[in-house]
Amino acid sequence: MPHLSIIIPTKNEEQNLPKLLESIKSQVYTDYEIIVADADSDDRTRDIATEFGAKVVDGGLPGPGRNRGADVAQGQILLFLDADVVLDDPEFLKANLEEMKSRGVCVGTTFVKPISDSYVDKAMHEVYNAFAIATDRVKPHAPGFCIFIKRHVHNDIGGFDESVVFAEDHEYVQRAVREGYRFRVLRSAPISVSVRRLEKDGRLAIAFKYMMAELHMMTKGPFKEMPYEYEMGGDLEAEPEKNIEQGMSNYES
């Protein structure tokens, strides 16, 4: 029985999934299983997952997909990843699991770095890292593309709340903390993340979107309706910067 279950929700990720799976296979830590929770992909996503030895289950939106993967997981620890991240450091799993154990962490995330040479992208991610550290003992945040959690904690809190359709990842870890479980940002090895969403929606628009989402969660609670148009997975085509006023109207209700 594996110690770690790596769960990846997907939809049309034939371009990105192989890079992630290759990086997992290159890890020095090997006591894991891979579960791909696929949301009816119409490309080769499922075939690729099977070729890499992953277990494939039916998924859905990210929150429900993660839950479907966790339902069949056998590991004592779950690691939720998105298909467009990469574990560049071959000791990513080993180092973060050891830190998790040594610090008594029940749920956590890691520092992030962009798969980009842009100074703007690097600066944006460093700002996020600083924010995550500043809030991890007060109001923790963990992006759904990288969450470590002990399986019994996931079960105890009832998994991801499938009625929450946006920022469900932050709601998930904050609920774990409210139940008394220890959260920390792990510092051993960062995860490399795609900037495809930044390129599609625009960097300024993304920053505004998450600022408004944070304000909404503080004042009105979790999102039960999607505040903006969302497309899961696939190779997102770049679009012009979104109009900020249009973005603001999505948060007024």
Q: Decide if pLDDT at 17 tops 70.
A: yes
pTM: 0.86
Tell me whether residue 238 is in a domain: no
Tell me whether residue 221 is in a domain: no
Tell me whether residue 245 is in a domain: no
Pairing label, strands 32-38, 4-10:
parallel
Total number of domains constituting the chain: 1
Tell me whether residue 57 is in a domain: yes
Tell me whether residue 242 is in a domain: no
Tell me whether residue 230 is in a domain: no
- Maximum pairwise Cα distance, the chain: 52
Check: CB of residue 40 under 8 Å from CB of residue 10: no
Tell me whether residue 236 is in a domain: no
- Which domain does 119 fall in, by range? 4-194
Q: What is the pLDDT of residues 124-182, one digit of tens each?
A: 999 999 999 999 888 899 999 999 999 999 999 999 999 987 789 999 999 999 999 99
CA distance 73 to 76: 9
CATH code of the domain in which 29 resides: 3.90.550.10
Q: What is the pLDDT of residues 65-103, one digit of tens each?
A: 999 999 999 999 999 999 999 999 999 999 999 999 999
Tell me whether residue 190 is in a domain: yes
CA distance 223 to 226: 7
- Helices 203-219 and 119-135 pack at an angle, to 10 degrees, of 10
